Amino acid sequence: MVARRGTSVGNVNESKDLQNVGLLSENYNADPDFQTFWDVWTDIRDNYVRQPIDETKLFYGAMSGMLRATEDSYSDFFDPELTKAFNEELSGSFNGIGVEIGRRNDAIVIITPLEGSPGEQAGLRPGDIVLTVDGKEIFGLSLEEVVSMIRGEIGTTVALTVISEADEQPREILVERQKIEHIGLRWEFLENDIAHINLSSFDKDSENLLNQFIREMQNRGGVDGIILDMRNNPGGFLDMSIEVASEWVNNGVVVKEKDNKGEERVHHSRGNPRLENIPTVILVNEGSASASEIVAGALQDFGLAQVVGKKTFGKGSVQKYEILPDGSSYRLTIALWYTPNDRQIEKDGIVPDFEVELTEEDINAGRDPQLDRALELLGK
């Protein structure tokens, strides 16, 4: 996500029948009468057969229902337990299987497994559609409900049934839950004076780690080129994406937000672009989403980097994240974002300048044609 730090089933005929007998008024779509809500709440509290009723659970259910009713994939509610887990994930340390999941076309999908995570090692791949968790079908469940089913105690296992476009049959993946200690930015200096930066998430440490890389690079006399590897980067904090892009973009627009009133908020680079004059290639794939798409889109628009790999996930919206007094929280989509050249990539993604496949056979053989293409473009 991009977040500001802070930041019985009925059918149509049944409905018609109810309308005919007067149980649904002609004002069905009128503005809500909150007294009706309290009437139903009171009826459940006083008359539901299984008592006592957990009013906290009712309250959280109503909150979750409101966010789900937006029919937005990225707006959701977290009870206090899930809020704690979510905040741990943003901090880079949490218990789980190390995958980022999201909703697309009413399906729960794997956006990306973190590098070296139990999920990646077990065989989960970007784009996998989750069908069941521990044998239970998840269709119709909220994103937070699926997250809570996947999380659990360290050392226990969870079974995910998944399928992708490349699969003829669903696959069952058994994953052991572990303590995930994630470092979102690593780098190495290749023998040919190329710096390979692996940026796998935009979290609270991204700016400090990037500063450490730049100091080390300068101390060794600079480099001839940079490969910014954001493959399988699911995103993170909006302000961190702006900080990263600002190391290349000199006094320019990094990203634009447009809200429901059409008002535009423009985020500019923050000066002193220390990497501006170094030839750069960006690597992306289907697991690159949100903040990673902001950086790739900005550098591509300004001609500051060539983009190699596969079309990105297509997460072009901005969420605010609010923690409530009782420890619960919610995310709400408040804007769509646009690249400097006014590209809106929601569901369409960033299209690489050079599309290069990385197949399962390549991975098993230890080959990386996407990285090889980046090295070719840098003349190495």
Query: Rounded CA gap, 232 and 96, in Å?
Result: 18
Instruction: Copy the structure tokens of residue 148.
Output: 């809570």
Are 265 and 257 in contact by the 8 Å Cβ rule? The answer is yes
Are 299 and 305 in contact by the 8 Å Cβ rule? The answer is yes
Largest pairwise CA distance in the chain: 82
Helix (H), strand (E) at residue 67: helix 55-68
Whats the size of the chain, residue-wise?
A: 380
Are 225 and 280 in contact by the 8 Å Cβ rule? The answer is yes
* 73, 290, 328, 329: the active-site residue: 290
Tell me, yes or no, if 315 is annotated catalytic.
yes
Tell me, yes or no, if 301 is annotated catalytic.
yes
Are 288 and 308 in contact by the 8 Å Cβ rule? The answer is no
DSSP annotation of 327 reads S
The backbone torsions φ and ψ at residue 319, rounded to the nearest 5 degrees and listed phi first, read -115, 145
Are 298 and 249 in contact by the 8 Å Cβ rule? The answer is yes
Nearest CA to 141 out of 82, 76, 83 is that of 76
* 79, 200, 246, 315: the active-site residue: 315
Give the burial class of 144: count Cβ atoms within 10 A of its Cβ; 0-12 exposed, 13-18 middle, 19 or more buried.
buried
* 288, 301, 317, 328: the active-site residue: 301
Q: What residues are annotated to the active site?
A: 290, 301, 315
